[in-house]
Amino acid sequence: MSIARTFNNWRQYRRTIEELSRLSSRELQDMGINRSDIDAVARGRGRG
């Protein structure tokens, strides 16, 4: 994997973490995500 691709994947991961972290627990729950699942979702390993 190229350095550019790795860096872009990392940036997308961080952006997803930041966006999901800004949501309230209620908003996350409405999407079927627990706050503890944010990392797995950002890595593309979310439930379901």
10-37 tens-digit pLDDT:
999 999 999 999 999 999 999 999 999 9
pLDDT over 80 (residue 45): no
Please state whether 32 falls in left (phi above 0), alpha (psi between -120 and 50) or beta.
Answer: left
Question: Does the structure show a pLDDT above 60 at 48?
Answer: no
Q: Which domain holds residue 18?
A: 3-42
Distances (CA, A) of 47 to 23, 24, 33, 39: 18, 19, 8, 11
Domain membership flag for residue 47: no
Distance (Å, rounded) from C-alpha 20 to C-alpha 14? Answer: 10
Is residue 48, in this structure, part of any structural domain at all?
A: no
- Residue 23 has what DSSP assignment? S
Residue 46 pLDDT > 90, yes or no?
Answer: no
Query: Is residue 20 in a domain?
Result: yes
- Number of domains into which the chain is organized: 1
